Amino acid sequence: MSERLQPGDVAPAFTLQDADGNEVSLADHKGRKVIVYFYPAALTPGCTKQACDFTDNLDLLAGAGYDVLGISPDQPEKLAKFRDTESLKVTLLADPDKSVLEAYGAFGEKKNYGKTYMGVIRSTIVVDAEGKVERALYNVRATGHVAKIIKDLGI
């Protein structure tokens, strides 16, 4: 199980493919704050709700200096379908080998209906303009999470 990040940690660098196969790096956002959120699977109810909430609040977040990146283990083709089906505006990134999920502590042991298994831990990491972790939120709920982030960040 990967270590969870703490405020003040340097956010692990990454370069992943977006829904169109273009490479996107955390370094591309240097000088801006970034909300990096990790979700289990595109085109599922909870993940759709969360992605739509981020899309609905993207202008507000961008106006406050935040970029939003959503990362899941899905392939870019599935992310493109997700984006197009739900009219998403957030940047979705593919991490099929789960290396970034693990680096951010967003992949590990989960329990569901009494079964223990390895999976994506729904998490949100807020990275400041210097590339350091400002907030690290794990086991977040899909519904209401974006509103809580906006409130907590004072936007």
pLDDT at 2: 60
Q: Which residue's structure tokens are 């996107």?
A: 24
pLDDT at 93: 98
Three-state SS for 13? coil
Count CB neighbours of 139 within 10 A.
Answer: 9
Rounded Cα gap, residues 85 and 136, in angstroms: 29
pTM check: above 0.85: yes
- For residue range 16-58, list pLDDT tens digits in order: 999 999 999 999 998 999 999 999 999 998 899 999 999 999 9
Does residue 52 have an active-site annotation?
no
pLDDT at 5: 96
Q: Supply angle C-alpha 148, 137, 42, rounded to 5.
A: 85
Of 47, 58, 61, 136, the catalytic one is 47
- The pLDDT averaged over each successive group of 10 residues in the chain (155 residues) is 86 98 96 96 92 96 96 97 97 97 94 88 96 95 92 93
pLDDT at 123: 96
pLDDT at 13: 97
